[in-house]
């Protein structure tokens, strides 16, 4: 399994408990694909550089995870289907210099 980093930008119109619930659901999704979550960094609410889906700020979280390569496409699809997540960036860790 390769190691990946997911940067998820979550809608700002939620309270912190709802954001934590979304992050927990992402962790459960990784585990359902026989992967593991190595680290979760909740960066909090930050201002966006430009408007995204009519939002000027959002909650940022970075998750380091391992998931089987054949499950990556399905994992990305599930991220796109989640209405609470407005943007994602999914990177392979070996390609970002770690």
Compare 83 and 98 and report the one with higher pLDDT. Answer: 83
Q: Residue 17: enclosing H or E segment and its boundaries? A: helix 16-32
Structural domain total, the chain: 1
Instruction: Give φ, ψ of 50 to 5 degrees.
Output: -150, 165
Give this prediction's pTM. Answer: 0.87
User: Is the pLDDT score of 98 beyond 60?
Assistant: no
Query: Tens digit of pLDDT for each residue in 19-47?
Result: 999 999 999 999 999 999 999 999 999 99
Q: Region 73-85: what's the mean pLDDT?
A: 94
Domain that holds residue 82: 2-96
């Amino acid at each position: 399994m390769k190691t990946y980093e997911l940067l998820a930008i979550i809608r700002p119109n939620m309270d912190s408990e709802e954001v934590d619930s979304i992050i927990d659901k992402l962790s459960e999704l990784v585990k359902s694909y026989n992967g593991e979550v190595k680290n979760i960094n909740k960066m909090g609410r930050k201002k966006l550089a430009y408007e995204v889906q009519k939002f000027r700020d959002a909650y940022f979280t970075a998750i380091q995870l391992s998931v089987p390569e054949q499950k990556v496409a399905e994992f990305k699809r599930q991220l796109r289907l989640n209405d609470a997540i407005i943007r994602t960036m999914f990177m392979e860790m070996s390609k970002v210099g770690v």
